[in-house]
A and B are shown apart, each in its own frame.
Chain A
Amino acid sequence: MTGLGRIGLVAVRELRAERREPDGIVAAVTFIAVLVLLESLVVGPVVARDADIAPALFWIALAFATILATMRSFDRELEDDALEGLVALPGGRDALFGGKVVAIAVVLAIVALVGGLLSLVLLDLPLALPLHLVVVVVLGVVALPPVVVVDVVLALRLRARAALVPILALPVLVPQLVAASRGASAAIAGDAVGALSWAGLLFAFAVVYGVIGLTIVPAAIE
């Protein structure tokens, strides 16, 4: 079994569990729907339609949704020490990070789809470049999980981890959030070059943090 194959096995196992007990995805989708509604109410429908405001609020909400889904995923692992069963396998430590990142990116794609559609419809956003927006969202969805999975692993089994994870993750996520928000507003406003350059940056972030995570996370898991 190759390293990639093992990552695939962990991802499939995770997605199966999520499909059977979709609490992570339900929590994250509900969360983002509530936030989209609240945001538009709080800042007012006119401001919320702003091509800069709507994406920024959306990505911050999605960052929190990533944290929710990832923490739920690891809580499930801890229930009967399934995590330890995985880590005890040869290559288990290494496959854990990659498998979780892949699975959470898939979950997040669904959350982003629902949240994105909801934002577009509720706010009646005039969308200039839909395809560019899709590219930005897909790459943004890939760029968020590596950092969050690292931080959830670092906070594993600690008390107050629900507070600790956002404190650790959000400052580190600043580049991803800036790039995703700017890229999305560029796509909405019709700036094709802008959207694609931010999307490229998001891809670079996904690669950089993916590599860091793969290298460093196995050491953190006991």
Chain B
Amino acid sequence: MRPVQASASLRDVTVVFDDRPVLRDVTIDFAPGLTLIRGPNGAGKTTLLRAIAGLVPLARGARAIAADPLFIGQRTMLLRALSARENLTFYRRFRGLSADGVEAALAAWGISARDRDRPVEQLSAGERRRASLARIRTEPLAIMLLDEPFTELDDAASSELRTAIGAARDEGRTVIVATHAHPELDALAGATVGLREGRVIVE
């Protein structure tokens, strides 16, 4: 059964890389709430998220999305030479938002006042990841795509992330998370998509 109002959807989407199909005839509707994308390495989880975000050309099929999404990739997407504050402010300003709230968001994710202004390069991998996840708060968009967001997080930060995902879900945002682990998220999820070799196996 398909949800009545989908905030994002893919129809018969095939994505080909280097002449190899990475996604094959994928049709999914994403409703508000949390959707988990599950699957082993190389199943096409990242490509699926990038297809929803409109970052890969579709060999076949169509994509529809209700609003511009926030996409946080497997890597931090922060420019290493700039500080966390500069990076997050840039993203906000680009979306036409003010620079307000960046400090607070970084503080909430445990980035100290000193570290907020150091080049991201000098932070630890975990700090960089947390700085990038602070975008969930600084760019509060209706649709959010997170690719393996738990990578490099310690237990405290992981639980922080679960709380943030839960809060976003409760606000009626559409949250799509690709992860091969973290079974505890299942309790929060409204839907789970299983991927294997580029095909949807369970929905």
Contacts and interface: CB of A to CB of B under 8 A. Distances in A.
| Chains A and B touch (C-beta atoms under 8 A apart) | yes
Given A80-B76, A84-B55, A222-B57, A20 B81 contact: yes
Contacts, number: 77
Nearest to A13: B90
7 contacts: A16-B82, A20-B81, A80-B76, A84-B71, A84-B77, A91-B94, A222-B56
Using C-beta atoms within 8 Å of the partner chain, give the interface range for chain B: 20 to 34
Q: Which 8 A-B pairs have the closest CB atoms?
A: A85-B77, A17-B81, A1-B96, A21-B81, A81-B75, A20-B81, A82-B79, A90-B68
Q: Is the interface of B mostly helix, strand, loop or mixed?
A: loop
B66 to A, nearest CB: 13
Contact of B94 (A1, A82, A84): A1
B109 interface: no
B81 A6 contact: no
Contacts of B74: 81
Nearest to A91: B94
A89 B79 contact: no
B11 to A, nearest CB: 20
B73 interface: yes
Given A13-B79, A17-B81, A76-B80, A84 B90 contact: no
Given A76-B80, A81-B74, A85-B91, 20 more contacts: A1-B96, A13-B82, A13-B90, A17-B79, A17-B81, A21-B80, A21-B119, A80-B76, A80-B78, A80-B80, A80-B120, A80-B128, A82-B78, A84-B71, A85-B71, A88-B53, A88-B55, A89-B94, A90-B68, A91-B94
